[in-house]
Amino acid sequence: MNGTLRTLLATALALGVASGAAVVPAAADPTATPTASASASDATAALEAAIAGLPDDHATAALVRVGGTEGTWRGSAGVHDLRTNRPADPGARFRAGSVTKVFTAAVVLRLAAEGRLDLDRPARAYLPELIPAAYAGVTVRQLLNHTHGIPAADLPGTTVEEWYENRFAVHRPEDLVRSATAKRPEFAPGKRQHYLNIGYTIAGLLIERVTGERYEDVLADRVLRPLGLRDTYSPGTNPRIVGRHNHGYQWLRQPDGTKALRDVSVWSTTDGWAAGDLVSTTADLERFTRALFAGRVVSGPLLEEMFTLPRVRDFRTGAPAAYSAGLSMKRLGGREVWGKTGGRWGYNAAVASTRGGERTLVYSVNSTDAKGQDTNRVALMLMLATYGAPDPSAAPDA
């Protein structure tokens, strides 16, 4: 944990949100039954404090839903855009980033349940013309839990300013895979874990190969439409967010060396595709999270793939593996919290839940450094307010 996170954790402790014992009050939802307790009041205060004062240097807006059997809370803060300063739209769409991986993993696991693919079979068996012999040992399961050893694809630019200049570039998933697999493996399959997009890019192509349909159509048919997720969609090559959305901003260096906020709402996400291109809403993501954890998206032993961490070490940090098939796990407030965060320029998002669905969290934070090295301050405070502080013995972030 770096100095910034230590400081934020100290702030959370001062707010009284680090014990993990607070019950989120159902009374915050006008349709729910009121629940009165001191701990519920503390949780409400902590959640309200997490999004107070927006817009600021860290974020311009935040949309939050806390739910589950322990109660509910809804909150929004900030502005729709910095030009008009209209209040943020609580029902707005946003870029969900790597939360997309949860959806992609769910589709792969559903196809496995249907006998359309085998998690223990090499990915090369399905895509022999795309995956070279150097990666012949990589299985479908290893793609999903980031233990495949395939390095990242090369993309143009090394700074956010250069990436901004290339924001309308269109990347074909096949080209990304060829770029990645032309390099030497980072490690032998199944021996380490390295969180990267490339495994899910290949997973998207696997979905297309075994079904004979576009990834976007398979996702819609098997997950989005059955769950009624009407505001969730894959944007394809369209760099704009369709429908209502709060604008996203990013600090960019200007020619004179100063930094200024730039509207980055319009930005192509083809580099993410099945690993990170979904657009959604907090209501849709909450519905998806509840259905997933209840076994209504994936069921039985295949659902357990999403709650099973590989027994390997992280490639960079040496910490125990923190990612399963689609999800990641942290110990917060004395219990396991499973979920996934995502970041696209201007937008941070997350879904999280305790294993039994007692407490869920979904947020969209319009971060001004959404893909920075540190967790956004507002996003971190929301996680701590909902679940409590990391266990002292918990492994560091992978």
Summarize pLDDT for 234-272 with one digit per residue, the tens: 999 999 999 999 999 999 999 999 999 999 999 999 999
Nearest to 377 by CA among 32, 150, 62: 62
What is the per-residue pLDDT across 288-302, written as a single tens digit (0 to 9) for each? Answer: 999 999 999 999 999
pTM, two decimal places: 0.91
Q: Angle, to 10 degrees, between the axis of helix 198-211 and the axis of helix 100-113?
A: 40
Mean pLDDT of 43-59: 95
Please check whether residue 186 is in contact with residue 315, taking contact to mean a CB–CB distance below 8 angstroms: yes
Tell me: pLDDT of 287 over 70.
Answer: yes
Rg for the chain, CA atoms, rounded: 20
Q: What pLDDT score does 393 carry?
A: 61
Q: Domains of the chain: which residue ranges? A: 3-387
CATH class for the domain made up of 3-387: alpha beta
DSSP string covering 304-330 = HGGG---S-EETTT-PBP-B-SS-EEE
Helix (H) or strand (E) holding 362, with range, is strand 360-367
Tell me: pLDDT of 15 over 90.
Answer: no
CA 318 to chain centre: 22
Q: What pLDDT score does 41 carry?
A: 74
3-state secondary structure of 257: coil
Q: What pLDDT score does 267 carry?
A: 98
Give dist(CA 22, CA 24) in Å, integer. Answer: 6
CA 260 to chain centre: 26
Tell me: pLDDT of 391 over 80.
Answer: no
Q: What pLDDT score does 395 carry?
A: 45
End-to-end CA distance of the chain: 11
Tell me: pLDDT of 13 over 60.
Answer: no
Q: What pLDDT score does 311 carry?
A: 98
Q: How confident is the model at residue 374 (pLDDT cuts 50, 70, 90)?
A: confident
What is the per-residue pLDDT across 98-107, written as a single tens digit (0 to 9) for each? Answer: 999 999 999 9
3-state secondary structure of 372: coil
